[in-house]
């Protein structure tokens, strides 16, 4: 996939919000249009996004809600739009993964009728690489057999960090996660993209250890 300045790009930025926060507050995430620098959506992460409800606020200050299908080993996350109608379902097929540990699809996005919209795929074709359990640097977003986007790390272009905690954060996480669309328009809406990236981050957190 060739990257160019004309490709629509989302960047996810994380930070700790000041002021009163919930007891299980972990971080705040905002998804930014890389070209306009507009904040397209944001949310507070309470506990783990894969196990807890998440409220995503879009650029129009409308609230989207994402919920797991169950508390233990969830396999589906439902994102409802501001009108409470189902916007998208994020599905993880554990049974398929158990039968075939090198299965390349980690997450599928479907509509309310369970029709597949797109899928997040490990782009590596080498069987040995996937068996070893080393997570890929990038993930491909595919509609059928067509690559429509890439989930990748984006280098930060921030000023000199100030204070101990900002310097530590810059040292530990020198990149942000991003979604680069193949075309000039975003392949997913900002709330859907943010929900997907939150889930993907947690599903792949143990990739280096073979989880």
What is the separation of C-alpha 95 from the centre of its chain, rounded to a whole number of angstroms?
22
Residue 31 has pLDDT above 70, yes or no: yes
Q: Please determine, for residue 198, whether its predicted confidence score (pLDDT) is greater than 80.
A: yes
The span from the CA of 190 to the CA of 193, in Å, is 5
Structural domains of the chain in order of their starting residue, each with its CATH number = 9-204 (2.40.160.200)
For residue range 62-74, list pLDDT tens digits in order. Answer: 999 999 999 898 9
For residue 39, give the nearest of 29, 49, 25, 54 by alpha carbon. 29
Compute the distance between CA of residue 25 and CA of residue 124 in angstroms, rounded to an integer. Answer: 35
Whether pLDDT at 143 is above 60: yes
Sign of CA pseudo-dihedral 38, 188, 59, 169: negative
In the predicted structure, residue 131 carries a pLDDT above the cut 60 = no
Q: Tens of pLDDT along 3-12?
A: 556 899 999 9
Exposed/middle/buried for residue 200 (C-beta within 10 Å: 0-12, 13-18, 19+): buried
Q: Is the pLDDT reported for residue 196 higher than 90?
A: yes
| Model pLDDT, residue 135 | 56
* Between 135 and 61, residue with greater pLDDT: 61
> What pLDDT score was predicted for residue 50?
95
CB-CB neighbours of 45 under 10 Å: 18
Alpha carbons within 13 A on the beta-carbon side of 73: 3
Q: What confidence category does residue 125 fall into, taking pLDDT thresholds of 50, 70 and 90? A: low
Q: Which two tokens stand for residue 112?
A: 């309310």
Mean predicted lDDT score pLDDT of the chain: 84
Better-scored residue on pLDDT, 20 or 98 = 20
Task: Give the confidence band of 209 by pLDDT, cuts at 50, 70, 90.
Answer: very low
| pLDDT band, very low/low/confident/very high, at 163 (cuts 50, 70, 90) | low
């Amino acid at each position: 996939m060739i990257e160019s300045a004309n490709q629509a790009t989302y960047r996810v930025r994380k930070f700790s919000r000041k002021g009163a926060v919930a007891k299980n507050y972990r971080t705040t995430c905002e998804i930014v249009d890389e070209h306009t620098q507009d904040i397209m959506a944001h949310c507070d992460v309470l506990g783990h996004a894969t196990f807890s409800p998440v409220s995503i606020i879009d650029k129009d200050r409308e609230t989207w809600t994402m919920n797991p299908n169950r508390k233990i080993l969830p396999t589906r996350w439902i994102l409802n739009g501001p009108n409470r109608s189902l916007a998208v379902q994020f599905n993880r097929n554990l049974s398929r993964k158990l039968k075939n540990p090198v299965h390349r699809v980690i997450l599928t996005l479907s509509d309310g009728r369970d029709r597949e919209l797109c899928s997040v795929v490990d782009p590596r074709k080498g069987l040995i690489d996937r068996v070893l359990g080393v997570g890929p640097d990038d993930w491909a977003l595919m509609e059928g057999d067509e690559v429509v986007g890439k989930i990748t790390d984006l280098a930060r272009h921030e000023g000199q960090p100030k204070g101990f905690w900002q310097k530590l954060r810059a040292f530990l996480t020198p990149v942000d996660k991003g979604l680069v669309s193949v075309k000039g328009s975003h392949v997913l809406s900002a709330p859907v993209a943010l929900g997907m990236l939150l889930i993907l981050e947690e599903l792949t957190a143990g990739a280096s250890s073979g989880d």
